[in-house]
Amino acid sequence: MEHKPVTAIFPGSFDPITNGHLDVIGRGNKLFDNLIIAIGQNPKKEELFTPAERVAMVKELVKDMPRVTVESYNCLTVKFAAEKKADVMLRGLRNLTDVQYEFQLAMTNRNVAEIETVFIMTSEEYGFVNSTMVREVAMLGGNVGKLIPPSVYEHVKKRVEEISQK
């Protein structure tokens, strides 16, 4: 029986990408033949970085992962997944609150778009980290250097400085 390559899509805003995201990406890269980091836009969130800036930052971080690609999209996630012929949706879970939300989302995606969801538990040290919290702490002058990759931290510091000068 021939092995059909499995393509997974890991969607999110990644604004900014965190060490928890990288943890899920690294482990997902071991499970799937191809992994697409899908950088979406969430109209409910005030963005720190443009989609193009986020794509560039993430591409730099995954450049040594040959089966990982990074793209932005501005449509329903399941539509983008279908366009990319993704077999599964990869999602990271941090805590019980995530489980409830992600379970509902996975069931909806399976019913609406017939795409399965695979969950990866984030490593314990990243269980409390999310992009919204990183943005808020950074905007209030806090040090988020342990929560995000060093190169991303430099971009965050620069952007916060630009915003505070306006």
Q: Which domains, from first to last, does the chain contain?
A: 7-127 (3.40.50.620)
- Of the residues 13, 72, 91, 131, only one is catalytic, namely 131
- Of the residues 54, 91, 94, 135, only one is catalytic, namely 94
Distance from the first to the final alpha carbon of the chain: 61
Place of tokens 């191809």: 34
Asked if 155 is an active-site residue, the reply is no
Q: Residue 45: what pLDDT? A: 77
In sequence order, the 6+-apart residues with CB closer than 8 A to the CB of 94 are: 20, 122, 126, 127, 128, 129, 130
Interval 94-123 mean pLDDT: 89
pTM exceeding 0.85: yes
In whole angstroms, give the CA distance from residue 2 to residue 120. 26
Task: Calculate the CA 135 to chain-centre distance.
Answer: 15
In whole angstroms, give the CA distance from residue 81 to residue 11. 9
Asked if 45 is an active-site residue, the reply is yes
- For the ranges 7-21, 91-105, 125-139, 144-158, which has the lowest average pLDDT? 91-105
What integer best gives the mean pLDDT of the chain? 93
- Specify the amino acid at residue 42: N
Token representation of residue 76 = 């329903």
Asked if 94 is an active-site residue, the reply is yes
DSSP 124: G
- Of the residues 13, 21, 72, 91, only one is catalytic, namely 21
Q: Flag whether pLDDT at 127 surpasses 80.
A: yes
Token representation of residue 108 = 């909806």
CA atoms within 13 A on the CB side of 124: 0
| Whether the Cβ atoms of residue 36 and residue 69 lie closer than 8 Å to each other | yes
> What pLDDT digit, counting tens, does each position of 23-70 carry?
999 999 999 999 999 999 877 778 999 999 999 999 999 999 999 999
